[in-house]
């Protein structure tokens, strides 16, 4: 059985915790898109881990963790991450990497940084992990798959051709130092030696696992609204964040994905630039930020403060539909316990016209949130494991959202720890 765990919104919905929870009963966990630019937080008996590239099943010794072909693999950062997970006390790190996975080249981070520098105030708010240059090169067919590192003659020849154009850009557009073929080649050989023990034909392995009836989890990064096609283009990420892409990025037949578990947070947060209709600002935002997540809403990779907002039913329903949700998990309900009143965005006002349909980006810019106010519950709800035991206001809040988003909320998470969860 293949289950995808993906985000409904702008990312950081708490997918890490939910993947970790489901990973316990899974044989294989696969990352199928994105790269080292996002962070998933999991808290378990070994402690707290901010994972960037490693799949969230990495703390279990019975799960095989796969970095699929759709991922942008940053080899040195992956090595560091493996070391830090081991240093955190995890005895066995079972990780495999697809031989078709493409490599974050040493110059991709440079190009990301230079381009954001050039754009200055129009920058995308990139994490400067090299993701956009990486995927541009992948689709321009000047990227490098891991398997290409094993034929040195071919590799040097291709690298020479690719660096020719890279150097033209570095010199003439960014006015920066150029790249040396021998140096980059040597770095790639180092990368190859580092990654070698983990590389295999993961597609074959996964297909066999499906035949044997194994339980497989696909772990998404970011959320629907950051999808390059269906999100808030151009303020999106560079690889598809949708469960459907899991078939491509993990090498699985689309019809095998039986369960699409979409994660959404009880309030909104976003990083980077881009449309965010229900956003709040100033002290109100700071208060929500400090109450959010397990230690405030600050980026797991970058540490930067996340933008905050009320739960957005319009964006979330759209995000859930884009994923094709079979179930929804609502996380971080406990983070709202401090509020006397909770606002929820139920529609958008486009110059006087009210809509519940999430519009395209140029229209989104003109949307104002239509908010309803609900009473808060003002008490600690962490660790409650039965829905009926929640204060009535909290139950009403969840039921209200469920109705607005039009999908079944099967779990409510009310704390960052694994056991802080309500199954409905």
Find the shortest distance in angstroms from Cβ 421 to ligand GDP: 8
Residues of this chain, 289-348, that bind ligand GDP according to CB under 6 A: 293-294, 300, 331-332, 334-335
Query: How far, in Å, CA of 167 to CA of 159, rounded?
Result: 12
Interface with Mg ion, residue 39, by CB under 5 A: yes
Find the shortest distance in angstroms from Cβ 220 to Mg ion: 11
Interface with Mg ion, residue 12, by CB under 5 A: yes
Residue 20 annotated as catalytic: no
Under DSSP, is residue 41 helix (H, G, I), strand (E, B) or coil?
Answer: strand
Nearest residue (CB) to ligand GDP, 16 versus 106: 16
List, in sequence order, every beta strand (DSSP E) within 59-215.
Answer: 64-67, 72-73, 95-98, 102-103, 199-200
- Nearest partner of 257 among 165, 357, 326, 343, judged by Cα: 326
Alpha helices in 212-345 (DSSP H): 243-250, 282-291, 313-323
Q: Which two tokens stand for residue 338?
A: 């401090």
Full DSSP string of 88-132 = TT-S---EEEETTPEE--TTHHHHHHHHHHHHGGG-----SSSHH
Per CB under 6 A, the segment of 4-12, 143-151, 237-245, 402-410 that binds ligand GDP is 4-12
Nearest residue (CB) to ligand GDP, 17 versus 317: 17
Choose the one of ligand GDP, Mg ion, none that binds residue 17, judging by a C-beta under 5 to 8 angstroms depending on kind: ligand GDP
Report CA-CA distances (Å) from 242 to 199, 302, 303: 25, 23, 25
- Of the candidates 3, 32, 34, 40, which one interacts with ligand GDP according to CB under 6 A? 40
Per CB under 6 A, the segment of 13-21, 164-172, 178-186, 371-379 that binds ligand GDP is 13-21
Phi, psi of 243 (to 5 degrees): -55, -35
| Number of residues engaging Mg ion in binding (CB under 5 A) | 4
Find the shortest distance in angstroms from Cβ 66 to ligand GDP: 18
Sequence-ordered list of residues with C-beta below 8 angstroms from that of 125, at least 6 positions apart, any chain:
235, 271, 272, 273, 274
Per CB under 6 A, the segment of 6-14, 176-184, 205-213, 311-319 that binds ligand GDP is 6-14
Report CA-CA distances (Å) from 353 to 186, 233, 345, 358, 363: 60, 23, 15, 13, 12
Find the shortest distance in angstroms from Cβ 221 to ligand GDP: 7
Active-site hit among 20, 27, 40, 334 = 40
- 28-31 and 40-44 beta bridge pairing: unpaired
Per-residue binding string, Mg ion, 121-160, x by CB under 5 A, is ----------------------------------------
What is the residue whose two structure tokens read 């689709």? 139
- Of the candidates 2, 3, 4, 17, which one interacts with ligand GDP according to CB under 6 A? 17
Per CB under 5 A, the segment of 4-12, 163-171, 240-248, 333-341 that binds Mg ion is 4-12
Residues of this chain, 300-329, that bind Mg ion according to CB under 5 A: 300
Taking each helix axis from N to C end, the angle separating 75-87 and 181-195, rounded to the nearest 10 degrees, works out to 40
Per-residue binding string, ligand GDP, 392-421, x by CB under 6 A, is ---------------------xxxx-----
Burial of 84 (0-12, 13-18, 19+ CB in 10 A): middle
Sequence-ordered list of residues with C-beta below 8 angstroms from that of 167, at least 6 positions apart, any chain:
178, 179
- Estimate to the nearest angstrom the gap between the alpha carbon of 401 and the chain centroid: 23
Interface with Mg ion, residue 223, by CB under 5 A: no
Strand partners of residue 48: 43
Active-site hit among 12, 27, 112, 137 = 12
Residues of this chain, 233-292, that bind ligand GDP according to CB under 6 A: none
Nearest residue (CB) to ligand GDP, 68 versus 416: 416
Residue 108 annotated as catalytic: no
Find the shortest distance in angstroms from Cβ 271 to ligand GDP: 9
Choose the one of ligand GDP, Mg ion, none that binds residue 413, judging by a C-beta under 5 to 8 angstroms depending on kind: ligand GDP
Task: Identify the H or E element spanning 3.
Answer: strand 2-7
- Of the candidates 12, 20, 148, 312, which one interacts with ligand GDP according to CB under 6 A? 12
Report the interface residues with ligand GDP, using CB under 6 A.
7, 11-17, 38-41, 43, 293-294, 300, 331-332, 334-335, 413-416
Catalytic site residues? 12, 40
Q: Which residues bind Mg ion (CB under 5 A)?
A: 12, 38-39, 300
């Amino acid at each position: 059985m293949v289950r995808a765990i993906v985000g409904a919104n702008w990312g950081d919905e708490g997918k890490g915790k939910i993947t970790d929870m489901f990973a316990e009963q899974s044989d294989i966990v696969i990352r199928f898109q994105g790269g080292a630019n996002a962070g998933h937080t999991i808290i378990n008996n070994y402690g707290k881990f901010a994972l960037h590239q490693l799949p969230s099943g990495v703390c279990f010794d019975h799960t095989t963790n796969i970095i699929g072909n759709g991922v942008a693999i940053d080899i040195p950062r992956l090595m560091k991450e493996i070391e830090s997970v081991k240093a955190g006390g995890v005895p066995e790190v079972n990780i495999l990497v697809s031989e078709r996975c493409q490599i974050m080249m040493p110059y991709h981070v440079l190009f990301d940084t230079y381009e954001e520098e050039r754009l200055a105030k129009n920058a995308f708010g990139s994490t400067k992990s090299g993701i956009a240059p990486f995927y541009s090169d992948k689709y321009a067919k000047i990227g490098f798959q891991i398997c290409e590192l094993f034929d040195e003659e071919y590799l040097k020849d291709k690298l020479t051709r690719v660096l020719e154009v890279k150097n033209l850009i570095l010199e003439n557009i960014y006015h920066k130092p150029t790249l040396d073929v021998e140096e980059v080649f040597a770095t790639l050989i180092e990368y190859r030696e580092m990654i070698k023990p983990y590389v295999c034909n993961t597609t074959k392995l996964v297909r066999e696992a499906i035949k044997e009836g194994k339980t497989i989890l696909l772990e998404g990064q970011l959320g629907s609204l950051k999808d390059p096609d269906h999100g808030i283009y151009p303020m999106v990420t560079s690889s598809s964040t949708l469960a459907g892409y899991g078939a491509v990025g993990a090498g699985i037949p689309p019809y095998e994905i039986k369960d699409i578990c979409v994660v959404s947070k009880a309030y909104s947060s976003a990083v980077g630039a881009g449309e965010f209709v229900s956003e709040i600002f100033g002290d109100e935002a700071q208060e929500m930020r400090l109450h959010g997540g397990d230690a405030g809403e600050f980026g797991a990779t970058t540490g930067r403060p996340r933008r905050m907002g009320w739960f957005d039913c319009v964006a979330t329903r759209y995000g859930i539909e884009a994923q094709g949700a079979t179930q929804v998990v609502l996380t971080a309900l406990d983070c709202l316990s401090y509020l006397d009143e909770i606002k929820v965005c139920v529609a958008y006002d486009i110059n006087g016209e009210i809509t519940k349909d999430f519009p395209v980006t140029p229209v989104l810019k003109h949307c104002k949130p239509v908010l309803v106010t609900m009473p808060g519950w003002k008490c600690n709800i962490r660790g409650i494991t039965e829905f009926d035991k929640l204060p009535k206001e909290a139950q009403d809040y969840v039921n209200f959202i469920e109705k607005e988003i039009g999908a079944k909320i099967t779990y409510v998470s009310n704390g960052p720890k694994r056991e802080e969860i309500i199954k409905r």
